[in-house]
Chains A and B, each alone.
Chain A
Amino acid sequence: MRYDSLFDVIGHIMVGPSSSHTAGACRIAYITRLLFGKPIKNANIHLHGSFAETYQGHGTDKALVAGLLGIPQDDENLRHSFSIAKEQNLNYNFYKKNLGKGYHPNSVLLEVSDENDKLSVIGSSIGGGNIIIKEIEGMEAGFNGDSPTLVFENRDVKGVIAKVTEIISEFGLNIDNMELSQNKSKKVALGWIEVEDTINNEMIEKIKQIKDILWVRALNV
């Protein structure tokens, strides 16, 4: 890893004890909560590899539930997440699951839902509190949410992406990175676009209006 800033070394403020098993786990769940876009009612938490082995000693379980509640990795409330989940009616269950060889040992599959919607996300905690969102709804992803990121699912038809990027430039934002992945059998696609500056609500509302966009979220974390 390249260290370009003092804050790469002394800027990680987090609830202990482990940057990978506590802070990183919380962040994966926190981003999942943002992607879901509203309070989560039910969560099936599938722990893979090292996460499944040592989840309790590192508080990985509490960290994941905290993230799903929207509690960030540097919030003291993280350790009380189980009782907060009770207050906020979040039901959760933990399972051990081998996701397969291609996944980092610190990975988790989160299946979250409420009465109307559901979402599945796989994330990996790759060290030092850094994470990567690997899959959304079974489609390959590959962002970490460190810079403002626009994430959306759309029907896999021509011209959707062009309309999205048009709106982004209309709002004067520079695109740093843009990637797409498809689910050919379901004819849907996942897109994530990392931009230079904070994404505002107005822009999100405008993108929602595009025909064939199924959902869109802004990660400004």
Chain B
Amino acid sequence: MFESIAELLELAEAKKKELHEVIIEREMESTNKSLEKVMEGLKKSLDTMKQSLEKGLKIDVVLPIGEAMEQSQKMQAKPFFLSKDIKEAVYWAMSIMEYNNGMGVICAAPTAGSCGVFPATILKAKEMLNKTDDQLMHAFIVGSAVGVICGNRATLSGSEAGCQAEVGVASTMAAVAITYMAGGRGNYISNAVALALKNLLGLVCDPVGGLVISPCIKRNAIGVVNAFLAAEMALSGVTSIIPADEVIDAMLEIGQKLPTELKETGFGGCAGTPTGKRIAETLYKNQNKI
């Protein structure tokens, strides 16, 4: 579809079209689908994200790790440092992740373990900026295309490159989407990519007991805050010295150099701490014997 951020931006520039327009055209070309079919699919994914948020806010789930339960609700408390909106977006992302762990229906973005970041950020930004459903959809399209580019240049798999490829990419997709939603174009977009992803480079995947709970649910929170931060910086004119595509390439290089223990195996990092190991042991002991 697209191999680089540079290619995507140049194409829009050359065609004198909006980014979301050239992305949709390319999607239709590479999948042989009609505009209607593509838009129908996109709407289904976005609707699933909205529903996962609505349900996630309503339903309390039982998690196999007791210590990890009912954490999202605590983010409803009056803010000390964050703005009310950003704190609520974090609450949303954690709620979607809890809902995911309660076997709710979610839309991976780019993975199930990072499924809270993108919806929480773009839905909150829509509310904050008072944008229309169409504008939300356009931002959603641009953010998703950046996910495709990260996949093609690097990877979207925690087992290949750690959490930087999951929450890192989710946060990058979200940062770009809201930058676009706020009116950022051209260099503002590439700076949003670079600034968002750089901050999360090296993030490891170290799930306790191998489950998508700890630290995953709370790690979705940094994905949200980092997305707002990177978009804010990019829109304020802060530029990245390292170009976006090179940052994505760096993510892959770092991922390849990460030891296996820190790539979704549940052995290193948080999973490998005495507490992480103790929780994992209890989990297996409580599992029905087969």
* B-binding residues in A (CB < 8 A): 1-19, 22-23, 47, 50, 52-59, 62, 74-76, 78-79, 94-96, 127-129
Contacts and interface: CB of A to CB of B under 8 A. Distances in A.
Contacts of B140: 10
15 contacts: A5-B1, A5-B31, A7-B41, A10-B42, A10-B109, A11-B45, A12-B107, A13-B44, A16-B104, A17-B213, A18-B113, A52-B290, A79-B102, A94-B288, A94-B290
A16 B210 contact: no
Interface stretch (B5-13, B143-151, B198-206, B224-232): B143-151
A196 B275 CA distance: 52
B289 to A, nearest CB: 9
B110 A10 contact: yes
A9 B144 contact: yes
A96 B287 CA distance: 13
Nearest to A9: B147
Size range of the chain B interface in the assembly: 35 or more
Contacts of A23: 112
Contacts, number: 142
A58 B100 CA distance: 10
Contacts of B108: 10, 12-14, 19, 128-129
Nearest to B52: A16
B64 A16 contact: no
B238 interface: no
A4 B30 contact: yes
A16 B100 contact: yes
Given A59-B103, A78-B103, A6 B288 contact: no
Contacts of B155: 1
B145 A16 contact: no
Contacts of B113: 17-18
B109 A16 contact: no
B105 A76 contact: yes
A127 B157 contact: yes
Contacts of B118: 10
Contacts of B112: 12, 14, 16-19, 22-23
A54 B284 CA distance: 8
B253 to A, nearest CB: 18
B177 to A, nearest CB: 11
Nearest to B55: A76
A16 B101 contact: yes
Pick the 9 closest A-B CB pairs, nearest first. A16-B100, A9-B147, A79-B103, A3-B151, A12-B108, A17-B212, A94-B290, A56-B287, A17-B101
